[in-house]
Amino acid sequence: MVQLDYKSSRPIYEQIIEQMKYNVMKKYLNPGDSIPSVRKLALELKITPGTVAKAYQELERQGVIETIRGKGTFIASEIKVKQDDDKIDLAKKQIRSSVMELKLMGYDKKKIVELVKEMYEEIS
Amino acid sequence: MLEIKDLYKGYDKNPVIKNISITVDRGEIHGLIGENSAGKTTLIKCAAGIYMADKGEILFDGEPVFDNPTVKEKIGYVADYNEYIRFYNIKNMVKMYEVFYPHFNIEKFNDFNEIFKLPVDRRIYALSKGQKMRLAFMLETCKEPDYLIMDEPTSGLDPVAKTKFFELLINEVEQRDLGVLISSHNLDGLERICDSVTMLKSGEVERQMSMEDMKEELTKLNVVFEGGAGKAVYDMPEILRISNVGSIYTLVVKGFDDELIKRLKKSGASLVEPVDISLEELFVVLEESRGDYHE
């Protein structure tokens, strides 16, 4: 369900957040599906429970998962990821710098738009 | 809550542990690490109420543990060497536990044994080290205690038994809010289950923090120095360990920040990338570098 890249410079908890969201977008995980507890996922991924807890707290805050006390952790029955201005700003900056790189390497507008479309399809 | 407060204990006139304070909540796993003879077993035996403290207090939910059967009924203790009545077989031992401990859960014991597969008709003296350890864990956990204290419980366990042991343990913690104090040299294992950790050195607390913060004590970096790292790099005091394969260097540093990246780049680094460091590596580097590094 989650594959970590231990050699990556991306923090482990961010990798967990991203992969959980990816699983949801690809519908590998659906609303109401049970996901492993913090301790079980930590044991499986060979990482500290605190790191998994941090990722789960963020996913819960964003409305992707929900914890029902005594029952476990689930994909939220209604996933509504709140629009977060800071996150949107960050994404814009990242896209802008990537577009610039591609343009420098000779990609035209059509090719860049094509690439974005492909990526969108891939995760939908 | 398990509270160890300002604990001192020694043998004859030699203090073994000094001024130790630890708290463990129910539902929490606290790891105890340290070199051989750092005082881990002495501390654990005090916490289990076997040794009387020279000074300080050990309280479970506010009640002292020493010489207190009511408190001891709520705690499980897996020792480094577990001795039982030698000529009893496992079945007899289980019966004895059922008599002594009113909450002993025999169904759970049988479920555990589906996994651990102990020969229940065999006598204690004929059990291997790993079998005795499994038996101790099963008996003490099936008492359904509120707290479980374990001294090096994974020693003697094969890799499969070790994995099962961790799985069963976290189930108890999640389902029954079991509070756990565990000492181990199996740092890869501890890293995966502990919420917080105490590092002992010569009988004293050297570090005590959440496992997450512990992992951030040091940072491992992959750094590329085309043409090799110069003397200036080797002289940086915050670099505790440095090794290289060709122009790719692996550094373990203390106090990683942007300023350090800048200085590394100034010294010729073309790429600086932090990567995950294991608790085991972190522990070894901390032990080796003691004294060489001053904050």
Q: What is the DSSP annotation of B112-123?
A: HHHHH---TTSB
A48 touches B: beta carbon within 8 Å:
yes
| Domain at B2-214: CATH code | 3.40.50.300
Distances (CA, A) of B22 to A83, B10, B176, B210: 43, 18, 22, 12
To test the contact with chain B by mutation, choose from A4, A10, A48, A57 the residue with the greatest count of B C-beta atoms within 10 A, namely: A48
Domain B216-289 = CATH 3.30.70? yes
Name residues whose C-beta falls within 8 Å of residue B206's C-beta, 6 or more positions apart in sequence: B34, B199, B200
User: For chains A and B, what is the number of CB pairs under 8 angstroms?
Assistant: 48
Phi, psi of B95 (to 5 degrees): -60, -40
Please check whether residue A72 touches B, CB under 8 A: no
Residue B194 to residue A39, Cβ atoms within 8 A: no
Distance (Å, whole) CA B171 – CA B89: 28
Residues of chain B contacting A37 with CB distance shorter than 8 Å = 170, 174
Cα Rg, chain B, nearest whole Å: 23
pLDDT of B107: 96
Q: State yes or no: pLDDT of B96 exceeds 50.
A: yes
Higher pLDDT, A40 or B14: A40
Q: Which of B192, B166, B196, B159 is nearest to B181 (CA)?
A: B196
Any chain A CB within 8 A of the CB of B187? no
pLDDT tens per residue across all 124 residues of chain A: 888 887 777 889 999 999 999 899 888 999 999 999 999 999 999 999 999 999 999 999 988 999 888 788 999 988 777 777 888 888 899 999 999 999 999 999 999 999 999 988 887 7
B291: pLDDT confidence band, cut at 50, 70 and 90?
low
Confidence of residue B189 (pLDDT cuts 50, 70, 90): very high
Q: How far apart are the first and last CA of chain A?
A: 17
Is residue B294 very low, low, confident or very high in pLDDT (cuts 50, 70, 90)? Answer: very low
Whether B204 contacts B65, CB under 8 Å? no
Measured between beta carbons, which residues in chain B are less than 8 angstroms from residue A9?
273-275
Q: Which of A37, A46, A50 sits opposite B210 (nearest CB)?
A: A50
- What ipTM does this complex have? 0.81
Which residues 6+ apart lie within 8 Å of A107 measured at CB?
A115
What pLDDT does residue B13 have? 81
Please tell me which of the candidates B167, B191, B276 has its beta carbon nearest to residue A12: B276
Average pLDDT over residues B239-251: 92
Place of tokens 């340290």: B34
Per domain, the residue ranges of chain B are 2-214, 216-289
pLDDT in tens, B110-163: 999 999 999 999 999 999 999 999 999 999 999 999 999 999 999 989 999 999
What average pLDDT does this structure show over B41-57? Answer: 94
Q: What is the pLDDT of residue A79?
A: 76
Q: Is B189 exposed, middle or buried (0-12, 13-18, 19+ CB in 10 A)?
A: buried
- Maximum CA pair distance of chain B? 73
| Sign of CA pseudo-dihedral B11, B12, B14, B18 | positive
Nearest to B6 by CA among B69, B55, B70, B74: B55
Identify the pLDDT of residue B276: 84
